[in-house]
Structure 1
Amino acid sequence: VLRQAGVEVTELRASIIIGSGSASFEIIRDLVKKLPLMITPRWVWSLCEPISIDNVLEYLLACLEEPRTVKQILEIGGGEVLSYANMMKAVAEVMGKRLVMISVPVLTPRLSGYWLNIVTTVPMSIAHPLVEGLRNDSVTTDHRIRQWINIELHPFKESVRKALAEDQQGLLASRWTEAENSLSTISEKNIQLKVLQDHRIIESEIPAGKIFQAFQSVGGDNGWYYANWLWQLRGIMDRMIGGVGMRRGRRHPIEIRIRDAIDFWRVEKFEPGRSLKLKAEMKLPGQAWLEFKVKSSSDQTAVFEQIATFLPANWIGYFYWYAIFPVHLLVFKNMAKGIVRHAMFK
């Protein structure tokens, strides 16, 4: 679109980008981490030229100062040509794991996509297109950018070590989940439907700041403060029907910003010290939100609110809400209490 409008565009094309938050890297990491024995399709022997995210950023910045890159489509790579199988073996070596791979010819790209949807954090909507691309070699053939811009390319294993360290420390500046389109609009037809809610209010002598810190940390490894196994079960069911499930976790254990993914929710609104509003991204017959608010009252007590909102798409949505109403009643009631309890003992 920009190019057609006459804007001077430089396009950089890369194979797999190695860095924390990269979808393709997370697939390799999750496979190695969870599967000591892999039954693999033939595409694992396709060749690619992975590149460190640091090198990608260096190229992007250098292009701003190099006039020869203007209006060009350029290929960038890390200089090492590897098969996906060899990349996974190298990642296993860095992680200190043993990996056995058995290649079979019967796994189609669609079946591979379903398998990645189950085993890795990446949903089917992303996994399937990625697998389609993995069937073909992706090695740089145009090396003009290396002649114009001289940077030190990071070795593959070094890039993997840094990415794994950043994952472990929670130092993700960005993540592939932030690029997903989720903040959908409500149609005029749905506006006429009855909005269903579960609204909890708790007054507490605990400082509002501590309660805020508790619900700010919700999700991911921190859990949901009540019946985490039920949340995990809901995530499994969601992934079985092609949803994102619970495996996206959080970008950071405490910090939050607008559009962050938190399990199968996304941050729609965030006011530091006051509120957090999440929009559901699991498969639902409607749209759902989960909102937390806290404020200090005049008598030095804190008022905490938890609001679960559901807007049915049609009569199926109403049936869904009331069919699982007893579960919602149990979970939402005890989750609100759990947040306040966590704030008390933190």
Structure 2
Amino acid sequence: MARIALVTGATGYIGGRLVPELLAAGFAVRCLVRTPSKLRDQPWSQDVEIVPGDVGDPDAVRRAVAGADVAYYLVHSLGSGKSFERRDRDLARAFVRGARSGGAGRLVYLGGLYPDVADLSPHLDSRKEVGEILLDSGVPTAVLRAAVILGSGSASFEMLRYLTERLPVMLTPRWVDNRIQPIAVRDVLRYLVRAADLPDDVSRGFDIGGPDVLTYRQMMRRYANVAGLPRRSIWGVNVLTPRLSSHWVGLVTPVPNSIARPLVESLVHEVVCKEHDVAEYVPDPPEGLVGFDQAVELALAKVQAYDVATTWSSASTPGAPSDPLPTDPDWAGGTLYVDDRSVRVAADRVSLWSVIEGIGGRNGWYSWPLGWWARGVLDRISGGPGLRRGRRNPYDLAVGDALDWWRVEELDDLSLLRLRAEMRVPGLAWLELIAGDDPDGGSTFRQRAIFAPRGLAGQAYWLAVKPFHGIVFGGMQRGIAAAAEAAANQADESAAKWRRSGNLPGTLGGRQG
């Protein structure tokens, strides 16, 4: 019979990634959530038992933990306001009462790595206190203490991502040179899963970290190198207090200030593992722990092969723990700009698709020919393909075809044409053309231009071209719709001529054959 694992915080960053790892390890997983509908879009939602309830309700916890071999406490109140420390304390105590009375076999908590100093930041002090509450529960407990977790969706990683990508030159507080021992999210998850197997007499905290000890300055520069950005100029100054720094981070990044401020305040501490005792129970993998550069590569890999049919925060089933999840906050996963337009077309879907599949080359792009020509010339001057490549076949496309400065990335007949830009732009760009049926007759045409900027140049590029989107993309949509309607009308006229002549299928000169 499969062991049972209860997961609290399944809608959060770590919890949403831990569940599939536990399922893969053979656990029967039970999720305690206040709002079950938030797990509806998770790819694993049908494979777990979802129990409605609040982690702050001991009775709900007791019912949810009944029969569980291990209960994961992955709840914290960062971002909930000034009183998050008190809320964290109250929730932890309520959880302990419920877990103890429900007979949980083991508790596992992911907390924060902290130094041995008296004046910890409120964020780290709260994490430390919650760990102590769980360890004092009387139930065997493993407290895993981690610093910056490297993976798309992690608040600390997103802060690092946005600061590095958006600011080629930075004035930073002196803490930029404090040492940090980050850890890849996949190593965190490995420790969490294996913590369920600890002997019953092991009840303690463990420091967990990756193989690299870096300053925040070094992390930003190495991120820039992995992301293909120019070297960042970073200058530390004394006048920037944690409060001022958090407001600055809130201004530059989409990370909410209620989250950024506690994280920034915690950066005044050096957070380096004091021990690696966890290896006695969970040995390092043969290939070693994931290093900083590889962890960043994994976190950015989804950008390179992104399924642009979705947004970052509603991405399809992730292939790795570093990938975005549906429950990640809207600000996680990096910047993605989208120009999304939909219109009803007075033409059947086949007529609309014939125009979509015939786009480009000699047929053109159905809007502002001079603008397209000028952009093509600029692209060729900068070393790109411009519009000179045309297309392989005037009527038919296949995945992998070159199409002017685009490449056909995906093709679903009568439904979807996705083009990836190969022009010279500071980022990654796609154009998606989608045909559908209109319930009221005719068809629908959805057009999406998607851009993932690279660095400040990418941000500036999008802002510079955005005013022209109405001319380029709006005109393009109107032109395609008009061409589809004209094609449908021409087909109707041809059919009418055939009917008048009597030369219909199954007839000969108006008489049955």
In the superposition, the TM-score normalised over structure 1's length comes to: 0.52
Other-structure match for 1:9: 107
Displacement after TM superposition at 1:338 (Å): 8.8
The answer (yes or no) to whether the contact 2:198–2:281 under 8 Å persists in 1 is yes
Per-residue deviation, residues 286-323 of structure 1 (Å, max 9, x unmatched): xxxxxxxx974365x3589xxxxxxxxxxxxxxxxxxx
How many residues were matched structurally?
219
Alignment equivalent of 2:327, drawn from 178, 184, 192: 178
Other-structure match for 1:99: 232
Task: Flag structure 2 segments of 5+ consecutive residues without an equivalent.
Answer: 1-54, 56-94, 110-143, 308-314, 331-341, 354-414, 416-435, 446-470, 485-513
Alignment equivalent of 2:347, drawn from 205, 225, 240: 205
Other-structure match for 2:402: none
Matched residues in 1 for 2:255 and 2:270: separation?
22
Displacement after TM superposition at 1:105 (Å): 0.8
Other-structure match for 2:439: 297
| 1:10 alignment partner, SS class | strand
Alignment equivalent of 1:163, drawn from 295, 299, 302: 299
Other-structure match for 1:57: 189
Other-structure match for 2:244: 111
Other-structure match for 1:89: 221
The answer (yes or no) to whether the contact 1:10–1:72 under 8 Å persists in 2 is no
The answer (yes or no) to whether the contact 1:18–1:159 under 8 Å persists in 2 is yes
Displacement after TM superposition at 1:106 (Å): 0.9
Per-residue deviation, residues 76-103 of structure 1 (Å, max 9, x unmatched): 1103221111211222332352122211
> Structure 1 109/201 Cα, relative in aligned 2: closer, same or farther at 3 Å?
same
1:297 partner amino acid: P
Per-residue deviation, residues 106-138 of structure 1 (Å, max 9, x unmatched): 112222112112222322222112111212122
The answer (yes or no) to whether the contact 1:75–1:142 under 8 Å persists in 2 is yes
| 1:87 alignment partner, SS class | helix
Q: Does 1:139 align with 2:269?
A: no
Other-structure match for 2:282: 149
1:205 partner amino acid: A
Q: Does 1:130 align with 2:228?
A: no
Displacement after TM superposition at 1:32 (Å): 2.2
Q: Does 1:19 align with 2:187?
A: no
The answer (yes or no) to whether the contact 1:205–1:302 under 8 Å persists in 2 is yes
Other-structure match for 2:8: none
Displacement after TM superposition at 1:17 (Å): 1.0
1:114 partner amino acid: H
Displacement after TM superposition at 1:74 (Å): 2.9
Alignment of 1:163-312 (within 5 A): 163-170=299-306, 173=318, 175=324, 178=327, 204-205=346-347, 207=349, 296-297=438-439, 299=441, 301-302=442-443
Matched residues in 1 for 2:198 and 2:255: separation?
36
Matched residues in 2 for 1:31 and 1:136: separation?
19
2:439 partner amino acid: S
The answer (yes or no) to whether the contact 1:20–1:166 under 8 Å persists in 2 is no
Q: Higher relative contact order by CA 8 Å / sep ≥ 6: 1 or 2?
A: 1
Matched residues in 2 for 1:41 and 1:154: separation?
28
The answer (yes or no) to whether the contact 1:10–1:69 under 8 Å persists in 2 is no
2:191 partner amino acid: Y
Displacement after TM superposition at 1:30 (Å): 2.3
Other-structure match for 2:379: none
Matched residues in 2 for 1:146 and 1:29: separation?
30
Other-structure match for 2:91: none
Task: Flag structure 1 segments of 5+ consecutive residues without an equivalent.
Answer: 182-199, 212-272, 274-293, 305-333
Matched residues in 1 for 2:257 and 2:182: separation?
23
> Structure 1 150/77 Cα, relative in aligned 2: closer, same or farther at 3 Å?
same
Displacement after TM superposition at 1:13 (Å): 2.4
Displacement after TM superposition at 1:162 (Å): 2.4
| 2:327 alignment partner, SS class | helix
2:214 partner amino acid: L
Displacement after TM superposition at 1:3 (Å): 2.8
Q: Which structure has the larger Rg?
A: 2
In the superposition, the TM-score normalised over structure 2's length comes to: 0.36
| 2:107 alignment partner, SS class | coil
Per-residue deviation, residues 178-215 of structure 1 (Å, max 9, x unmatched): 3559xxxxxxxxxxxxxxxxxx995743649x99xxxx
| 2:206 alignment partner, SS class | strand
> Structure 1 33/179 Cα, relative in aligned 2: closer, same or farther at 3 Å?
closer
> Structure 1 116/38 Cα, relative in aligned 2: closer, same or farther at 3 Å?
same
Matched residues in 1 for 2:264 and 2:475: separation?
41
The answer (yes or no) to whether the contact 1:63–1:69 under 8 Å persists in 2 is no
Other-structure match for 1:290: none
Matched residues in 2 for 1:43 and 1:135: separation?
5
The answer (yes or no) to whether the contact 2:108–2:196 under 8 Å persists in 1 is no
The answer (yes or no) to whether the contact 2:159–2:255 under 8 Å persists in 1 is yes
Other-structure match for 1:46: 178
> Structure 1 140/343 Cα, relative in aligned 2: closer, same or farther at 3 Å?
farther
> Structure 1 66/37 Cα, relative in aligned 2: closer, same or farther at 3 Å?
same
The answer (yes or no) to whether the contact 1:10–1:70 under 8 Å persists in 2 is no
Other-structure match for 1:219: none
Matched residues in 2 for 1:206 and 1:124: separation?
49
The answer (yes or no) to whether the contact 1:10–1:71 under 8 Å persists in 2 is no
Matched residues in 2 for 1:105 and 1:140: separation?
27
Q: Identity of counterpart residues, as a percentage? A: 35
